[in-house]
Amino acid sequence: QTFGRFISSAVVNEILKHPDALKPGGEKKELTVMFTDLAGFTTISEKLAPEQLTELMNEYLDEMTRILFAYGGTLDKYIGDAIMGFWNHPTAQPDHAQRAVECAISMQRKLAELRQKWLSQGLPKVEVRAGINTAVCMVGFIGSDIQMNFTCLGDGVNLASRLEGANKAYNTLMMISDTVHAGIDKKLISTRFLDFLAVKGKNKPVEVYEVRGYRRSESELWSKAEPLYQEGIKLYLNRNWQEAEAAFFRVLELMPDDGPSKVYIDRCVHFKQEPPPQDWDGRFILKSK
């Protein structure tokens, strides 16, 4: 039980069942990997004494970790205020992508409660951003004979981290890859296409989507805005900049704070002046991490 407070209990159980496996190595396995990050954490840390900051972070990490475990996730590590977790190992979970996405939605709901509490204490507003990717990774005990971590490695892990950071470019909170999108129940989860994103370190663009939450929680405004947004994307990819811009403006008339529509309006304005090359495949190159 004590050991389970320092690494995932599922990993402790795995060690107890297979003590002979305690050597550096790993296995190839499809995982769904999630990175979360607390946007606004730096501003909060500047306002609090170290002991107050520690108390607040312990509260935040405790709540988020409980949610991760409730959805069957394996806690990989904390990186400051960031959390890395994954699904489908050590226990097989056929619905690992669905679990990860519902976990991210639940984290958003819990943070909304914490945010109100912290605002009442005079602290700045914070948001939690999540990036989720499904890919074949190496997972297991990685390190040396002296000390090891139970973790996962691979290009797919790096992509999940990049997607978390890419939310900043679109003013979104939850971004998933096409492989995650293929593994979730779209009747239950509300998503929308965001972009063909070429992230730093990758040449081939990735089809990425925003997770908006549960469909049952969507507003009537979004039901009106969604087809306009989809039409705007279609026009944009067909290089009809003027008409696409008009479609995204119609989305903003319904939802003035819609980040992705604002992004596409800016791109349409730019491409009207400087069109992309003829072989353009719709990709957007994200230069930052």
Q: What is the pLDDT of residues 241-284, one digit of tens each?
A: 999 999 999 999 999 999 999 999 999 999 999 999 999 999 98
The CA distance from 273 to 275, in Å, is 6
Tokens of 242: 């003027």
Interior/surface letters 169-207, b for 16+ CB within 10 angstroms, e for the rest: bbebbbbbbebbbebbeeeebbbbbbbbbbbeeeeebbb
Tokens of 217: 């929680």
The CA distance from 227 to 126, in Å, is 30
Burial class (CB in 10 A: 0-12, 13-18, 19+), 252: middle
Helix crossing, 220-237 with 241-254: angle to 10°? Answer: 170
- Under DSSP, the state recorded for 215 is G
Tokens of 124: 């700045």
Q: Which residues contact 276 (CB under 8 A, 6 or more apart)?
A: 239
Burial class (CB in 10 A: 0-12, 13-18, 19+), 237: middle
Please, what is the end-to-end C-alpha distance for the chain in angstroms?
37
Tokens of 203: 């040449």
The CA distance from 10 to 71, in Å, is 13
Please tell me the predicted confidence (pLDDT) of residue 13.
78
Tokens of 58: 């312990």
Interior/surface letters 18-47, b for 16+ CB within 10 angstroms, e for the rest: eeeeeeeebeebbbbbbbbbbbbbeebeee
Q: What is the pLDDT of residues 84-97, one digit of tens each?
A: 999 999 889 999 99
Residues of the chain short of pLDDT 50, as ranges, are none
Interior/surface letters 120-133, b for 16+ CB within 10 angstroms, e for the rest: eeebeebbbbbbbb
The torsion angle over the Cα atoms of residues 211, 213, 217 and 222, rounded to 10 degrees, is -20
Please tell me the predicted confidence (pLDDT) of residue 36.
98
Please tell me the predicted confidence (pLDDT) of residue 5.
65
Please tell me the predicted confidence (pLDDT) of residue 148.
78
Tokens of 180: 């995650």
Please tell me the predicted confidence (pLDDT) of residue 22.
62
